[in-house]
Chains A and B, each alone.
Chain A
């Protein structure tokens, strides 16, 4: 049956709330409306307004109160309505959500999931298209997840809600309507592992979230050039599955890391460093990074010139192969 990423995520939330009455879902407009992207559609109707509820419009309040509710014994799943509105919650995430379990010497655990619809490609106004994953990947104490397919959306969200550690769950909003033939519930590979989405021999494309689809499309386009590209979907940025990444790069000798976020000090830099440290002598060329330019996210009519696409990725592959 064809399901979309949005349906998969909605079903994951539903099933998690069904399975454990400690799971609660809250944020802005997630109750009556079902979320601006309808990811929480019908959850309030099904589970009542104590399990799925609208909050005042305050992101620090949402994450800070989720920490309190988790200390009480709940498993809160909270929604930041858009990537660019996550920043008011930054202090609560960095100073408490990530640190309190360690600060408490393990006596406090915070099984909180912060869902963030992220990335561009939907023609939105400013602050609605950002990719802030590098900020959070840098913070010890968090797990960072970003699914690229509906099946992974379901499986990784269920696993994130079950996680005893806090998780920042980045949902690729332009892929909410991406379809896949799948039956739910589904469990994909173990949490914390990357997956080879397409086998290839010429070069390795490494992507996550919204860029997985772009990388796969690029691999198809590259066939015309006679290139057989391998595509690795990282799925979780922390934990980072160095083993799968390095195995692929050892095979192809060429690595191109792709994300929507600005390249400078982006997550791609970490991937490049991991590969270089672990597989230097297997590399035929430097690890290349493809991403957004190092400028603020542009106005909607210009985002196609900012975002990495097949051409920009193929250009990088060519540079790697001709190194």
Chain B
């Protein structure tokens, strides 16, 4: 008896061995079959702008933490291309479900970085409206947001809406059960969901080799019957082109996919971490040479897409962003304590009246 052919055909789901790269380390653009670039000059400049802004905002956040203005901060340094390229492939109606290291994606989605920082400052647990920005709340428990993305995409699918959901998470998250369940749910329902892994090589101190025995993270996709993609996450054009393909696939009703953007976290896990305990200066230098912004800038300059005037303009904008962040964060008061009771329930229990009254008395007593 002939064995029935497997569906979907496993061969079509495997990622390329080498990550897709459009810009080489010298900033030279190469065409890669299957990953056409549909970008206008303005888009190239926009990608550059978001990456520069992300880096400036990130640096400002680290400084604010060092000045005691933020409790902690998780830097995206080195991951600007992966984050910006992925999010740039989305349309306005689409949604992002982020982890806590997603300042670049947040900027692309139009979320005010000052609002993101209120979380790290401890003013509020979160301060942006996901429905206004289509950018979910920063999710701190690892991998949990992947299920919210899958569920949201299932909702869109059942509702017949043209909407794609992108879930961001890291290499460490791929060891968590929730990522497994999210990939499986999204696949079973053909949900329009793109799982975008920034493989930045470390989960705090634990390297990828201790997270998984899989050949690559993208190879995990085949276990869920979805295609796995790999891209050079320090190449913003590859990150964009691969994400675009996955997004279009989802939009066409062909279901979810898993992208592994291979990148590197140049900073510590958070400002509370000491990476010298687990990685070498040589390794850092090697990745520093692959800096995503420098590479893209080389390309843009050679192509005449940016010039000194444009660079100065972006630099001014970045400085203005940073200044506004300092203004918003520096010595910002904590939230109104009485708001603690405000949002937990639409229909709060009677005990909230007593407890609010108690807190009010404590506040009045000083």
| Chain A residues at the B interface, C-beta cutoff of 8 Å | 24, 50, 55-56, 58, 60-61, 63-74, 88, 91-92, 95-96, 99-109, 140-141, 143, 163-165, 192, 238-240, 242
Contact = CB atoms under 8 A, between A and B. Distances in A.
B346 interface: yes
Contacts of A239: 349-351
A170 to B, nearest CB: 17
B205 interface: no
6 contacts: A56-B188, A60-B147, A61-B184, A66-B151, A95-B141, A238-B349
Interface of B: 97, 124-127, 129-132, 136-137, 139, 141, 144, 146-156, 158-159, 177-178, 181-182, 184-185, 188, 339, 342-347, 349-351
B151 A96 contact: no
Given A65-B147, A107-B130, A165-B345, 9 more contacts: A56-B185, A61-B181, A64-B148, A65-B182, A72-B155, A101-B345, A102-B344, A104-B137, A143-B345
Nearest to A166: B345
B188 A95 contact: no
Contact of B151 (A68, A143, A242): A68
Given A102-B344, A239-B349, A60 B181 contact: yes
A92 B152 contact: no
A61 B126 CA distance: 24
Given A102-B125, A140-B344, A60 B178 contact: yes
Contact of A105 (B124, B144, B149, B188): B124
A192 B181 CA distance: 35
Given A101-B344, A105-B343, A71 B182 contact: no
A71 B150 CA distance: 11
Contacts of A58: 181, 184-185
B123 to A, nearest CB: 11
Given A105-B124, A107-B130, A61 B182 contact: yes
Contacts of A238: 349
A72 B152 contact: yes
A67 B130 contact: no
Contact of B147 (A68, A109, A164): A68
Given A92-B147, A101-B343, A71 B130 contact: yes
Contacts of A65: 147-148, 150-151, 154, 182, 185
Contact of B347 (A50, A64, A67, A163): A163
B136 A71 contact: yes
Contacts of B178: 60-61, 64, 91-92
Contacts of A60: 147, 177-178, 181
Contacts of B345: 101, 141, 143, 165
A311 B88 CA distance: 68
B343 A106 contact: yes
Nearest to B187: A56
B14 to A, nearest CB: 23
Nearest to A191: B347
Contacts of B144: 64, 91-92, 95-96
B126 A109 contact: no
Contacts of B126: 103-105
B185 A102 contact: no
A72 B343 contact: no
Contacts of B158: 24, 50, 74
Contacts of B343: 101-102, 104-106
B137 A67 contact: no
Contacts of B346: 101, 109, 164-165
A66 B185 CA distance: 11
Given A61-B181, A95-B144, A68 B153 contact: yes
A69 B181 contact: no
Contacts of B129: 104, 107
- The 5 nearest A-B residue pairs measured at CB: A68-B151, A64-B147, A72-B155, A65-B151, A61-B181
Contacts of B154: 65, 68-69
B155 A69 contact: yes
A70 B182 CA distance: 16
Contacts of B184: 56, 58, 61
A99 B345 CA distance: 10
Contact of A68 (B152, B159, B188, B351): B152
A140 B139 CA distance: 19
Contacts of B132: 107
A61 B185 contact: yes
Contacts of B127: 105
B344 A64 contact: no
B153 to A, nearest CB: 7
A64 B152 contact: no
A74 B161 CA distance: 13
Nearest to A239: B349
Contacts of B124: 105
Nearest to A66: B151
A105 B119 CA distance: 12
A68 B344 contact: no
Nearest to B141: A95
A50 B160 CA distance: 11
B136 to A, nearest CB: 7
B355 to A, nearest CB: 11
Contacts of A50: 158
